[in-house]
Amino acid sequence: MHRNLYILIILVLGTHTTVIYAQDAQWRGPERDGKYPATGLLKEWPENGPDLLLKKEGLGGGYSTPVMYDGTIYVTGRRDTLEVITAVGLDGSVYWETVYGRPWMESFQETRNTPAIENGRIYITGAMGTVNCIDAKTGQILWSRNTHDEFDAGFHRWGMAESVLLTEDAVISSPVGEETVMVALDKEDGSVIWKSEPTGDVRSYVSPLMIEHNGNQLLVATTSRNLAGIDPATGKIFWKLDLVTDYTEKGRRNSTNTPLYHNGEIFVSSGYDDKALMVALSDDVRSAKVKWTNDVLDNHHGGLVLLDGYIYGSNWISNGMGNWVCLDWDTGEVMYEEEWRNKGAMIYADGMLYVFEEKQGHVGLVEATPEGFNVVSSFQVSDGRGPRWAHPSIYDDKLFLRHHDVLLVYDIKER
């Protein structure tokens, strides 16, 4: 059965109980870590790939990820000077289309922001900073708020990419700039619950993350310069770490990847030869320090996966080239760095890594082991045009790929 609502997780720690929401239909899976909960999936594919169930063209150019909610696929795309979200059935039927914003028109104009869906409502940010709440059944916009203009935010050199985060009560948006780093909007009407203080920089291209450590919740924000820990109840900034001064040689950091979190530690990586960092939190999450750094896994924008104490992803050699890397979580030791086609996006499900190589569209099914990058099966996607920058997703035992304006859905269920 498809998990079409949020997953409620209750942790009891002594006398303290905390509630965390893991949202299935959102950026990079229920916990924003690239892991999808499907089981019973194929461990090897036919020579030409798994069965293609759906090919849908004309959805508008995009780098955002397709998500599935209550049996419907939701995909964003750019058409000329408009950003459109489309609701598509598994038979290819279009149920509705809604214009929700204007694209970033200076460079890489395709849509970048993945919807988050809960309780029949879609929350999506346009490229120019407007946060929208949309009825998932009808496509009607229920409320809209331009947090970028309202809070005097600043764009980084390539605009912004942010998939909003949903908490129990709020939509979390990061209009980094003169007034704030992060704001919490009421899910029902978009009113402001709180805004944090500013950090003196502008937006990055990173979607926020909610974590829990020792019964304490923390929002993790990445700006153009800083990594910051923020109180989800009040917006107070507990700490910030300068990611530029000591960890890059270029004087700027073009961060794109939502950090990984595990057991009181946060892993941060971006491309362009920037150092990756492992950040250790204090027990009360109100302070943080760098534990170790690594100069091999500078992930460009394909995302990272943590499995059994090892970090998997691809690195940056140039904008068009990269290798596949595995690091030890505890030490940063490089377990392997191997060539396969090119760098790209990575997700995980049911014991296997799924990779989508960005240059020529090879899709790989890879063993999740630190002993080497072992590709069990692969096939090539030729549909669409431009770089393959959209991350794959997995819902209802199906693999979802998008390349520019084409959506592809494959049956990966083991029979």
pLDDT digits (tens, 9 = 90+) for 250-288: 777 889 999 999 999 999 999 999 999 999 999 999 999
Q: How far apart are alpha carbons 346 and 335 in whole angstroms?
A: 17
Give domain status of residue 241, yes or no: yes
Give domain status of residue 2, yes or no: no
DSSP state of 156: B
CA-CA distances (angstroms) from residue 158 to 115, 122, 184, 256?
A: 20, 25, 24, 11
Q: How far apart are alpha carbons 353 and 357 in whole angstroms?
A: 13
Give domain status of residue 224, yes or no: yes
Give domain status of residue 300, yes or no: yes
List the CATH number of the domain containing 357: 2.130.10.10
Signed CA dihedral, 263, 280, 355, 9: sign only: positive
CA-CA distances (angstroms) from residue 157 to 106, 113, 202, 204, 253?
A: 9, 17, 10, 9, 11
Give domain status of residue 384, yes or no: yes
CA-CA distances (angstroms) from residue 116 to 102, 135, 333?
A: 19, 12, 35
Domain range for 322 is 7-411
Q: How far apart are alpha carbons 147 and 59 in whole angstroms?
A: 26
DSSP state of 148: H
Give domain status of residue 201, yes or no: yes
> Exposed, middle or buried: residue 413 (CB in 10 Å: 0-12, 13-18, 19+)?
middle
pLDDT digits (tens, 9 = 90+) for 105-131: 998 999 999 999 999 999 999 999 999
b/e burial code for range 102-122 (CB count within 10 A of at least 16 → b): ebbeeebbbbbbbbbbbeebb
Strands 35-36 and 344-349: parallel
b/e burial code for range 131-141 (CB count within 10 A of at least 16 → b): bbbbebeebee
Helix (H) or strand (E) holding 229: strand 226-230
Q: How far apart are alpha carbons 305 and 257 in whole angstroms?
A: 11
Helical residues (DSSP H) of 63-212, grouped into ranges = 147-150
Give domain status of residue 112, yes or no: yes
> Exposed, middle or buried: residue 328 (CB in 10 Å: 0-12, 13-18, 19+)?
middle
Full pLDDT tens readout for the chain, 415 residues: 333 433 333 333 333 333 344 567 999 999 999 999 999 999 999 999 999 999 999 999 999 999 999 999 999 999 999 999 999 999 999 999 999 999 999 989 999 999 999 999 999 999 999 999 999 999 999 999 999 999 999 999 899 999 999 999 999 999 999 999 999 999 999 999 999 999 999 999 999 999 999 999 999 999 999 999 999 999 999 999 999 998 997 777 889 999 999 999 999 999 999 999 999 999 999 999 999 999 999 999 999 999 999 999 999 999 989 999 999 999 999 999 999 999 999 999 999 999 999 999 999 999 999 999 999 999 999 999 999 999 999 999 999 999 999 999 999 999 8
Give domain status of residue 242, yes or no: yes
CB 266 within 8 A of CB 278: yes
> For the chain, how many structural domains are there in total?
1
Please state the pTM of the whole predicted model.
0.94
